[in-house]
Structure 1
Amino acid sequence: MKSAFVYLASMLATLSLAVPVQDVAVARSEPTDLPRLVIYFQTTHDQSNNPISMLPLINEQGIALTHLIVCSFHINQGGVIHLNDFPPDDPHFSTLWNETVIMKQAGVKIMGMVGGAAAGSYSTSTLDSTDSATFEHYYGQLHDLIINFGLDGMDLDVEQPFSRNGINRLISRLRSDFGPDFLITLAPVATALENSANLSGFNYNVLQTDQGSNIDWYNTQFYSGFGTMESPNDYINIVNTGYSPDIVVAGQLTSPADGGGWIPTADLNNTIITLDQKYGQIGGVMGWEYFNSLPGDTSAPWEWAQIVTEILRPGLTPELKITKQDAERLQAAYSTSVAANGNKDKSFVKKPSVNYMKWVNA
């Protein structure tokens, strides 16, 4: 456990030497990563409780991923932040965090997402507390998480009542503490940006007025009955409400197993063509979530990203460089993750589902 995370810490400390850094002279209103291809990485282990690798998203041909969002982080009253069911520094996640280092080396921005369907993160007992000491306590946990794991940004998925003052305070602190290049995004349902059905408690049109200069984009949920990309109508309605197309990322389910409102990528393609013709370019596409994305499903979930790259970002595939030392460290991290899950089959530990040594090319 210790060696895997020592490696992670040492790599994070030197990332600025290996990862392309946005020129600080470039204004935040002039993004260079459009249109974005964003994928949420929530299911970190397969049904046998073995780590799922994210590296095919940069190693497989024809994928131009821009952002990967590790999720879901939950703030727990009276406790510590969890990534799904474990603290984020649990050896359970050794593979995940060591692989994010490689993703960054390929130019992918690694973000976290806090909130989601589970209540608690934005309650009046945590981040929405009117007691400044309480807010500072729980915000401090989030702040330390960002530092400790070298996150490039934070996605605020508010699916419980959260006050206008609370969301403004949180966004302002993140921007103040982490500077202009730190990514701050939100994940509203599409109807919330149309000034209609809303899960967050606050009004997004008012929030855009209050904090628009501090918000990079919206990972907008066009599914679950709150909107669809089957036609361009909902997206157009959002732009007509006052949102620039470059900050509206069209969120899609990657599989009907993930909820209601899934549409085939062929339908998405038709809608994107229409929107590109109308606006020149949109903010991008987001996929929820990685592990079972169609058409490859759990055996080849990266195929969804290949298809969407052809729709959004053809010819922009980054090149992965991995050394033998990288591969050895990833192998050790995988062994740590498997051991943390109680799998003592040593022959299995020597043969992870991803052959890291096969990827050595530098």
Structure 2
Amino acid sequence: MRFLWAALLGLATALPVDKEPSIEKGPTPAVVKEPVETSVLSAAEEPVPVTPDRGTDVPRLVLYFQTTHDALGQPISMLPLITEKNIALTHLIVCSFHINEGGNITLNDYPPWYPLFNTLWNETRLMQDAGVRVMGMVGGAAAGSFSRRTLDGNATTFEHYYGQLRDTIRAYRLEGMDLDVEQPMSQAGITRLVSRLRADFGPDFIITLSPVATALQGGGNLSGFDYQQLEHDVGRHIAFYNAQFYNGWGYAGSTSEYDTIVRTGYAPTRIVLGQVTTSDNGGDYVEPAQLNETVRLLRAEYGQIGGIMGWEYFNSAPGGTERPWEWAQIMTAILRPGLVPLLRITKDIARGLVQAWQDSLAGGGDMIATAVMPVTPTVDYFAMVNA
């Protein structure tokens, strides 16, 4: 299960690079505010092209990015995942988007266009430029996104709330969407959602789901629907599954449950081995040496696997909140050594990132903000300049 650290720590997260998304009118009128334009990227620029989840991405290294500010309300940069050495991240999943009955879509606790998220949306564009596929995630532990009053509703209800999700994907140039269904949803409802995403965004859009590992074995299941039936009906539209092997729903310290999933009929290259990045984020945390042995055995058996997924970035072990990227370095050594993307940052981009960081400092949210908060970013953007 997902842990809502943003809520637990009094955090939350995110502003669009270009504009707020177009929100369809519904039972509760949208509260629309004009974002402050401080983006390092011009609204006149061409959209980032969507890159398909290709065979060269396997094995994938997937990381969720939910907590966007620290306990002092200072933005957390994702760029060390590119600028630090020996990291070969393939997919970054921004989360968690919530569909709210009677209201509008939020990213954690706030509208995604809030200035709070200026750093987030500027940095995701740079991650995309470096070749990392930036996706969103809808759902998670907070109930409501997939109820019969939202995305699992009748045709009229679905169109209203799906429209918010669709417009958000377009506004923030997300290259895919992870469906984390942790409340009961109907078989017809999930099939409709997957099919509609494919129809609206085309063959290169990355659609994933993140079930608990037992659900892919025909066992315990938080989603309500049958994953094997979903695979039969629309599996051709699903790029891969971020299976949660933790919190009592699976264990990555051995190959047995992964083997069971493969025997059930799933291709090993479409099953990503999901882990918590630290024992602080949930149960069944597996130390890197043991995880490495699991991956070695799985590769010996299947030739290749879908990859490794981590929940979540901000406090990943062993570096913790001071050096959270170290987890990705270790996973790269296990999974994808030598496949490191390149980030290009100019002085102008660095100046824009500094401005975005300052604007994101508790901008528009109930963050901890005082007159003594620093105006100098906690990340040295100018040290990243390489062009």
The offset of 1:99, in angstroms, is 0.5
Distance in structure 2 (CA, Å) of the matches to 1:330 and 1:266 = 37
Residue 271 of structure 2: aligned partner: 248
SS at match of 1:4: coil
Partner AA of 2:184 in structure 1: P
The offset of 1:49, in angstroms, is 1.0
Distance in structure 1 (CA, Å) of the matches to 2:368 and 2:317 = 30
- Please tell me whether the aligned partners of residues 8 and 98 of structure 1 are also in contact (alpha carbons under 8 angstroms): no
Residue 58 of structure 2: aligned partner: 34
SS at match of 2:314: coil
The offset of 1:3, in angstroms, is 1.6
Aligned residues: 350
- Please tell me whether the aligned partners of residues 121 and 172 of structure 2 are also in contact (alpha carbons under 8 angstroms): yes
Residue 130 of structure 2: aligned partner: 106
Residue 13 of structure 2: aligned partner: none
Distance in structure 2 (CA, Å) of the matches to 1:107 and 1:292 = 24
Distance in structure 1 (CA, Å) of the matches to 2:62 and 2:188 = 28
Question: In structure 2, which of residues 123, 141, 154 is the aligned counterpart of residue 117 of structure 1?
Answer: 141
Distance in structure 2 (CA, Å) of the matches to 1:145 and 1:167 = 19
Distance in structure 1 (CA, Å) of the matches to 2:372 and 2:237 = 49
1:267 is the counterpart of 2:290 = yes
The offset of 1:339, in angstroms, is 5.5
Distance in structure 2 (CA, Å) of the matches to 1:171 and 1:94 = 29
Residue 69 of structure 1: aligned partner: 93
Residue 15 of structure 1: aligned partner: 48
Runs of 4+ in 1 over 6 A off after TM superposition: none
SS at match of 2:118: helix
Residue 53 of structure 1: aligned partner: 77
- Please tell me whether the aligned partners of residues 40 and 122 of structure 2 are also in contact (alpha carbons under 8 angstroms): no
Distance in structure 2 (CA, Å) of the matches to 1:318 and 1:32 = 13
How big is the alpha-carbon RMSD for the aligned residues of Structure 1 and Structure 2? 1.5
Residue 25 of structure 1: aligned partner: none
Question: In structure 2, which of residues 318, 325, 340 is the aligned counterpart of residue 295 of structure 1?
Answer: 318
Question: In structure 2, which of residues 137, 147, 166 is the aligned counterpart of residue 143 of structure 1?
Answer: 166
Partner AA of 1:38 in structure 2: V
Distance in structure 1 (CA, Å) of the matches to 2:55 and 2:357 = 35
Distance in structure 1 (CA, Å) of the matches to 2:342 and 2:382 = 17
Tell me the TM-score normalised to structure 1 length. 0.94
1:337 is the counterpart of 2:360 = yes
- Please tell me whether the aligned partners of residues 189 and 221 of structure 1 are also in contact (alpha carbons under 8 angstroms): yes
Residue by residue over 1:18-44, the C-alpha shift from the partner in whole angstroms, topping out at 9 and shown as x without a partner, is x8x45xxxxx7x622100000000111
Whose helix proportion is higher, 1 or 2?
A: 1
Q: How does 1:192-207 map to 2 (within 5 A)?
A: 192-207=215-230
SS at match of 2:57: coil
Question: In structure 2, which of residues 233, 240, 263 is the aligned counterpart of residue 210 of structure 1?
Answer: 233
- Please tell me whether the aligned partners of residues 39 and 352 of structure 2 are also in contact (alpha carbons under 8 angstroms): no
Residue 383 of structure 2: aligned partner: 358
Distance in structure 2 (CA, Å) of the matches to 1:331 and 1:234 = 45
Identity within the alignment, %: 58
Question: In structure 1, which of residues 143, 165, 168 is the aligned counterpart of residue 191 of structure 2?
Answer: 168
Shifted more, 140-149 versus 352-361: the winner is 352-361
Distance in structure 2 (CA, Å) of the matches to 1:233 and 1:8 = 50
Residue by residue over 1:122-179, the C-alpha shift from the partner in whole angstroms, topping out at 9 and shown as x without a partner, is 000000002x111100000000000000000000000000000000000000000000
Distance in structure 1 (CA, Å) of the matches to 2:165 and 2:70 = 27
The offset of 1:319, in angstroms, is 1.3
Change (3 A) 1:42 1:339: closer
1:88 is the counterpart of 2:89 = no
Partner AA of 1:297 in structure 2: G
Partner AA of 2:81 in structure 1: L
